[in-house]
A and B are shown apart, each in its own frame.
Chain A
Amino acid sequence: MISARGVLCFSALLLLGTPPAHALEANLGVEGFLLEGKTAGGINLLLLFNEHVGLDMEAALLMTDEGTPREGLASDEVFLGFLLGLHVQLQRPINPLLRLGVGTGVDFWPLPGVAWGEFKVGMPLYAEARLHLFGGLGAFLRSRYYLLHSQGLAPGEDYSGQVAFPVLNSVGLVGVF
């Protein structure tokens, strides 16, 4: 006979998930970028070597939405290119449910939709909150700022040149292995 208390404990365990007790942990999933007038999304892989240090990799497709203002790109063209990111990430577990992290590395933006060989590159500094959900699932929210970047790579800047806040935000849903 399963008691109500047992069910409650089991549910709580499911909700809390499993903390990163392993020497090597992989978080593999999808990542979507919160952009106005553009759509970007792809895969994200975080390999944690221990509780605090990991290697983060991103590969995403970048499209512009139809009808958004543009110059130098055909009005019916939507494909712009990719984001390929490689970062070192440091994490700090706050509790079994939540980890906070910071990372830096290289973001490479090849833009074959503009011209073959055209690219932008940036050195991001990002902060993220990673939540362990039930059933080996995790979610993260990441906000990045470019410490260094190519001319013409301008997160936070709109078409008219107004800069609200120069960050690029993304969210992800990952499986924890």
Chain B
Amino acid sequence: MKRALSLAALLVGCMPMTLSHKGNIDFKRYRAVYVQPIALTGDGVFPGNDGASQAYLIDALQRDSGFSEVVGNPNALVDVVLAVSIDVDRSIDYSDDNDDDDYNYGSEYEYEAQLRFVLRTTNGVVLAEGSESESSRDYKEAMEDVMDDVALYFLRPYRI
């Protein structure tokens, strides 16, 4: 009876709950990353956007990733190098709500950004690689979303 009462008290009482993420690489060992200029290909690419994309990815990694240092300087002393390529395809969107989107975005195109990334040590050992894809009627949004996915892949470890 006493055990049943203890169990009942436990069931109706305040319980802890932990939310955590371990991190996809060892951020204590690999602290500084150099983000290479992003290789952009595909018929949907806006020319001259490489630098802006690299800067956006650096910002996203600085905000969300577990790297202590994220740089775009190839001469910086780092532990790992992140190489990213994005292929952006543009297709005509024939959906019914196109008129509204024309009004909002001035475009009838759908952009699909397919990103591949490889994280290597400075010796060339591959630590992580993967691909992400996002699509949007807005070019910038498709690009930013797919780079946010990379930052999320390298999300800092947390325990709350």
Spell out A's residues near B (CB within 8 Å): 34-38, 64, 68, 70-73, 80, 109, 111, 114-118, 120, 141, 143, 151-159, 161, 164-165, 167-169
Contact = CB atoms under 8 A, between A and B. Distances in A.
24 contacts: A34-B13, A34-B14, A34-B15, A35-B17, A36-B16, A70-B159, A72-B66, A72-B158, A73-B160, A80-B160, A114-B19, A114-B21, A115-B151, A115-B156, A116-B64, A118-B21, A152-B18, A154-B20, A155-B15, A156-B17, A159-B16, A165-B11, A167-B11, A168-B15
A118 B20 CA distance: 11
Dominant secondary structure of chain A at its interface with chain B: loop
Interface string B1-36: 000000000111111111111100000000000000
A114 B160 contact: yes
B159 A164 contact: no
Contact of A70 (B10, B15, B149, B160): B160
Contacts of A35: 14-17
Nearest to B151: A115
Given A117-B149, A168-B17, 13 more contacts: A35-B14, A36-B14, A64-B160, A115-B64, A115-B156, A120-B19, A154-B18, A155-B17, A156-B17, A158-B16, A165-B10, A165-B11, A169-B14
Interface of B: 10-22, 63-64, 66, 148-149, 151-152, 155-160
B160 A167 contact: no
A69 to B, nearest CB: 8
A143 B159 contact: no
B5 to A, nearest CB: 14
Nearest to A35: B17
B21 A152 contact: yes
Contact of A34 (B12, B18, B20): B12
